[in-house]
Amino acid sequence: MNKHISRSGSRLHRRDFLRSTAALAAAAFGAPYIMPSSVFGKNSPSNRITLAIIGCGNQSTVDIPEWLKNDDCQIVTCCDVNRGSRGYRDDKQFLGREPQRNFVNKAYAKKTGNDSYKGCDACIDFRDVLARKDVDAVAIITPDHWHAVQTIMAAEAGKDIYCQKPLSLTVRDGQEMIKAVRKHNRILQCGSQWRSKAHIRQACELVLNGKLGKLQRVESYVAENNFKGPGPGWKAEPVPEGFDYNFWLGPAPQAPYHNLRCFYKFRFILDYSGGQTTNFGHHSNGVVRWGVCDDLFPTEFEDAGSEWPEKGDLFTTPTKVSFRAKFPNGVELFCHTNKPGFGVRFEGSEGSLEIGSSKFECKPASLKDAVLGGNDKRFAISENHYRNFLDAVKARKDGVEPAEVAHRTSMLCHLGNIAMLLKRKFKFDPQTEQIVGDDEANKMLSRPLRAPWHY
């Protein structure tokens, strides 16, 4: 794929790891930064997963502390095309590769009792991360337009991958990601943490096993946009110092810089994301699919009154999400901008169930106490999405949100966006992953990647 990484990149041998890390650390800092086993209890280097963070923005402030809780995981590098700046989701955030590297080193300094600990470094180019033998796995926390290229290259380099949701920017992205992950026998967990929440697992098991009677309708809520575009007539701005804007754009089309284009706000521009349809939608529609049945996929999609920004605005994703889809078993999905945050409501012939971020409620309330029998389907148990990934890496077995599951959830969201953009109904064939008899719609399942980036 590129000249820095061999396609046959092999997995790390522990002795190489010890040699290369010790050499690097000694050369750079004159002191060894391999964590002593005593710091990690039973987690000696041979039992520890070395992790690179790729993308040190808003969500890295959630993900990094979660990785740090695991003694059998060591963050060794923070990669970002931004050195460090403000301009993220809120004014207080100062983020980028250097602030996040410093954060990690401070945490390990506290853990090891070594105040001068500097075992985590920072870099600009993720290809340098992939070329490192002392990196076992990568956490991809970049904007959605980077997920496919970075995942595929990571798989080729022999790394396991925790890729943030939504898995993909397009349906084709997801297909290529699955191919690469399976070809290179990698573990991929997509970062939609709702699949690791006990109350959601319990609720979806009730729905899947018919405790609401015959399932009829599902509503999936996605939050409203929390930023407004600059409107038509917006002007290009100078690129801030310390930010490699061209690298940020990567496979996306060339475009003039504006501060509302990049950090955090990229999610409101179709070149980089699918808006709240894929942002919150990957969470809520992933739960819909869990309850309805992961093996079923909607075969009809239609717009239900979506609204879009003014022509000429920088922001191009829906200002109001509203689409319907129909599963082959007749269940109707209505996905819309309704409530803040996350939520899903299932309606069956004998009652309903509504899931929120920390609990679920049933009508009648007694449904909540329905007991699952020996023949009922049960989901794999995961209480923590990050832990589940680390365990999957060690066991060489998929975790709770592997590439195929995440691809189909992202695909559902992408098809919703296509229906809302076209403002017309279409049928979808889940076997071929093609829209039936609609060339214009099918073209929207993929997008060209800007050279030199390719699948």
Ligand X SMILES: NC(=O)c1ccc[n+]([C@@H]2O[C@H](COP(=O)([O-])OP(=O)(O)OC[C@H]3O[C@@H](n4cnc5c(N)ncnc54)[C@H](O)[C@@H]3O)[C@@H](O)[C@H]2O)c1
Residues forming contacts to ligand X in the complex (CB under 6 A) are 54-59, 79-82, 88, 95-96, 126, 141-144, 146, 164-165, 191-193, 247-248, 250, 263-264, 266, 279
Residue in the shown chain whose Cβ atom is closest to ligand X: 57
Tell me if the bond preceding 452 is cis, omega within 30° of 0: yes
Tell which residue, 24, 36, 123, 128, has the closest CA to residue 80.
123
Tell me if the bond preceding 364 is cis, omega within 30° of 0: yes
Spatial neighbors of 74 by CB under 8 A, at least 6 apart, are 35, 48, 49, 50, 51, 108, 119
Nearer to ligand X, 126 or 315 (CB): 126
Contact call for residues 81 and 244 (beta carbons, < 8 A): yes
The distance from CA 39 to its chain's CA centroid, rounded to whole angstroms, is 30
Q: Which two tokens stand for residue 209?
A: 């096993």
Beta bridge partners of 332: 217, 326
Tell which residue, 108, 147, 141, has the closest CA to residue 29.
108
Question: How far apart are CB 9 and ligand X at their closest, in Å?
Answer: 18
Question: How far apart are CB 96 and ligand X at their closest, in Å?
Answer: 6
The strand ranges marked E within 28-159 are 49-54, 73-79, 121-123, 137-140
Nearer to ligand X, 63 or 219 (CB): 63
In whole angstroms, give the CA distance from residue 177 to residue 147.
9
Tell me if the bond preceding 166 is cis, omega within 30° of 0: yes
Which letter does DSSP use for residue 239 in this model?
A: P
Strand 49-54 and strand 137-140: the pairing is parallel
- Reduce the DSSP state of residue 120 to 3 states and report it: coil
Question: How far apart are CB 282 and ligand X at their closest, in Å?
Answer: 7
Nearer to ligand X, 55 or 229 (CB): 55
Question: How far apart are CB 92 and ligand X at their closest, in Å?
Answer: 13
Contact call for residues 130 and 138 (beta carbons, < 8 A): yes
Question: How far apart are CB 424 and ligand X at their closest, in Å?
Answer: 28
Nearer to ligand X, 47 or 246 (CB): 246
Nearer to ligand X, 5 or 81 (CB): 81
Question: How far apart are CB 97 and ligand X at their closest, in Å?
Answer: 8
Q: Which two tokens stand for residue 339?
A: 């409530």
Nearer to ligand X, 21 or 192 (CB): 192
Amino acid at 384: N
Amino acid at 441: A
Contact call for residues 383 and 401 (beta carbons, < 8 A): no
Question: How far apart are CB 388 and ligand X at their closest, in Å?
Answer: 14
Nearer to ligand X, 247 or 455 (CB): 247
Nearer to ligand X, 246 or 329 (CB): 246
Question: How far apart are CB 226 and ligand X at their closest, in Å?
Answer: 11
Nearer to ligand X, 191 or 348 (CB): 191
Question: How far apart are CB 10 and ligand X at their closest, in Å?
Answer: 23
